[in-house]
Structure 1
Amino acid sequence: MTTNLSRRRLLVAGAAAPTFLATGLANEINKRVPRVDTHLHCFAGANDPRFRYHDRAPYRPDTPATPQHLMECMDGAGVDFAVVVHPEPYQDDHRYLEHCLEVGGTRLKGTCLFFSDRPGSVAKLPDLVKRAPIVATRVHAYAPDRLPPFGKSELRDLWKTASDLGLAIQLHFEPRYARGFEPLIKEFSQTRVVIDHLGRPFQGVPEEHEVIVRWSRFHNTVIKLSSIPLQTKYPHRDIAPVIKRLVSEFGAERVIYGGGFSADATPESYRAAFDRAESFIAHLPETDRMAILGGNAAKLFGFE
């Protein structure tokens, strides 16, 4: 990374005291590794007539979580880039996501949501990718009445469409549904698969989550360190050993971070979320921690 430093900085560094070489120059280099939040939702709120929630919305947040608020929190917390994950209340209407990405400029990219079993939904995907900086399409499998069509051509068609467009597949699911995705992870081995929220380790029995741990053998999978549960809440289990094992199995180069932004977030709380995440990977070298908290995502999603 020192090759990217200017000749003047190299000369100054070379003439400086050893203490500066050990600290100051290292800090200069470290600043070049961006911080990236790969998982946040934005909402216009219940009272914005421009962006109504969909008739099929499973929930309807009243309080806005706007891109303007996001940018203020990012600036105050030292977060360079972020991925706005299109939330379910809007279903496959992406107008608010496009609005957010326009406000964020080069600092924001998006994950979209289309439904493989809904006529005409996936057909909208190519046009959205032409209009907006979309990096992934998300698939949900956590409610028995809203599962993707496992084993059918419709789900494969969504996966192939996203793959042909150069997008990642972003999976949000309960562990009991993991096996339904595995054939497509294998078939589309060149398509990146992002596993949200550590694969939801506490929303099933350990044997079910073990399926996800074994996905580390597929080199196109990436685990997301997000939605980190508190031990003070049900089921009151310590997530630290789970995180340590997932990082060990997938390797630090295939772990990305997301989380901390919400309607009531502040720059301080946003920064604290990153700090809390880093506390779970404190056993890793600094270079690995920086990669997980931003470097990996910057490469994966093309942030510059």
Structure 2
Amino acid sequence: MSVIDSHQHFWNLETGSYPWLTAELEPIFRTFAPEELIPQLAAAGVDRTVLVQAADSYADTDAMLAQADAYDFIAAVVGWVPLDRPDEAAEALERYGRHPKFAGVRHLIHDDPDPDWVIRDSVVEGLGLLAAAGLPFDVVAVLPRHLEHVAFLAERVPGLRLVIDHLAKPPIAEKGWEPWASLIARAAEHPNVYAKVSGLNTAADAESWTAEDLRPYVEHAVEVFGPERLMFGGDWPVSLLAGDYAKVWKETGMLLSGLDEAARNAVLGGTAARFYGIES
């Protein structure tokens, strides 16, 4: 089985623009390139990755596709197109769709001042273009409001496959539960909705978190989605805000140790391969 990290990033502060990335995020306020990640993947036994956009720009997507051309371990790219401008989005999807590793779209909806951006009529029309092209949408859900929209989109755009990044950032640090638990269960009722077991360390206490802090949230996700709709993601280098790649990999392994081999294999690669169309 091929082990796939379904969520990682690269960025270059000299050539790209990342408005959310400021000096306050000191550990990750620098350039991150493939050469730095490769030995960490090898140490963990991760074979391939899905490279995910970090800016709502063509420049970021173009840079990622160039990296995917240069490095075989990058199996797929989740890029960006202007979903709120459907005509322009259609042209961009046609252009990017020619690249064999262009496998999905994401928008930093949590950075938009309008929490309802993703359910605007123009955006829903843009998401319809993704469905027609067979491309999935990565949902960045940080507010409960964002998570509420997932079920709406699953119904409104029935052919669209959605994946909730980072389990929608459950309230781990404060040991909270609702409304997160009910909202993610509601989203999971739709068979076209998936989720990533990723980015949970940065939702926990940065200094002291362990697998046990994350366990209730991951077990709930396994219960409502099943392993066949869950995928592991390391969220590097954002994960450096609360640990490192090795710790995320080790603690995730502990979280999944109670699953049978087929279920573990699904979360650690099989689901991502199916979802993003990654060939073995």
**Interval of TM-score (by shorter of Structure 1 and Structure 2):** 0.7 to 0.9
RMSD: 3.0
Q: Offset at 1:219?
A: 0.6
1:117 aligns with 2:84: yes
Aligned partners of 1:229 and 1:261: how far apart in 2?
Answer: 11
Q: Deviations over 1:263-289 (max 9, x none)?
A: 998xxx534422211211222112211
Aligned counterpart for 1:96 among listed residues 53, 57, 63: 63
Q: Is the 2:86–2:125 Cα contact (8 Å) retained in structure 1?
A: no
Q: AA paired with 1:52?
A: G
Aligned partners of 2:186 and 2:252: how far apart in 1?
Answer: 23
Q: Is the 1:74–1:80 Cα contact (8 Å) retained in structure 2?
A: yes
Paired residue for 1:294? Answer: 269
1:283 aligns with 2:248: no
For the structure 1 residues 74 and 121, does the alpha-carbon distance in structure 2 shift closer, same or farther, using more than 3 Å as the test? Answer: farther
Q: AA paired with 1:303?
A: E
For the structure 1 residues 73 and 229, does the alpha-carbon distance in structure 2 shift closer, same or farther, using more than 3 Å as the test? Answer: closer
Q: What secondary structure sits across from 2:179 in the alignment?
A: helix
Aligned partners of 1:264 and 1:291: how far apart in 2?
Answer: 22
Q: Offset at 1:167?
A: 0.8
1:242 aligns with 2:217: yes
For the structure 1 residues 41 and 70, does the alpha-carbon distance in structure 2 shift closer, same or farther, using more than 3 Å as the test? Answer: same
Q: What secondary structure sits across from 1:130 in the alignment?
A: coil
1:58 aligns with 2:58: no
Paired residue for 2:148? Answer: 179
Q: Offset at 1:208?
A: 4.6
Aligned counterpart for 1:149 among listed residues 109, 117, 128: 117
Moved over 6 A (4+): none
Paired residue for 1:256? Answer: 231
Q: Offset at 1:303?
A: 3.0
Q: Offset at 1:199?
A: 1.5
Q: Offset at 1:166?
A: 1.4
Q: Offset at 1:63?
A: 2.0
Aligned partners of 1:177 and 1:228: how far apart in 2?
Answer: 17
Q: Equivalences for 1:14-29 in 2 at 5 Å?
A: none
Q: What secondary structure sits across from 2:222 in the alignment?
A: helix
For the structure 1 residues 205 and 86, does the alpha-carbon distance in structure 2 shift closer, same or farther, using more than 3 Å as the test? Answer: same
Q: Offset at 1:261?
A: 3.0
Aligned counterpart for 2:47 among listed residues 61, 80, 86: 80
Paired residue for 1:133? Answer: 101
Aligned partners of 2:167 and 2:96: how far apart in 1?
Answer: 28
Q: Offset at 1:173?
A: 1.4
Stretch of structure 1 that moved more, 208-217 or 154-163 = 208-217
Unaligned runs of 5+ in 1: 1-32
Q: AA paired with 1:191?
A: L
Aligned counterpart for 1:229 among listed residues 201, 208, 223: 201
Q: Is the 1:67–1:103 Cα contact (8 Å) retained in structure 2?
A: no
Aligned counterpart for 1:220 among listed residues 188, 192, 212: 192
Q: Is the 2:6–2:234 Cα contact (8 Å) retained in structure 1?
A: yes
1:202 aligns with 2:177: no
Q: AA paired with 2:129?
A: T
Q: What secondary structure sits across from 1:108 in the alignment?
A: strand
Percent of matched pairs sharing the same residue: 20
Aligned partners of 1:264 and 1:140: how far apart in 2?
Answer: 17
For the structure 1 residues 288 and 223, does the alpha-carbon distance in structure 2 shift closer, same or farther, using more than 3 Å as the test? Answer: same
Stretch of structure 1 that moved more, 67-76 or 291-300 = 67-76
Aligned partners of 2:158 and 2:86: how far apart in 1?
Answer: 27
Aligned counterpart for 2:248 among listed residues 273, 287, 296: 273
TM-score, scaled to structure 2: 0.81
Max Rg structure: 1
Q: Is the 1:139–1:148 Cα contact (8 Å) retained in structure 2?
A: no
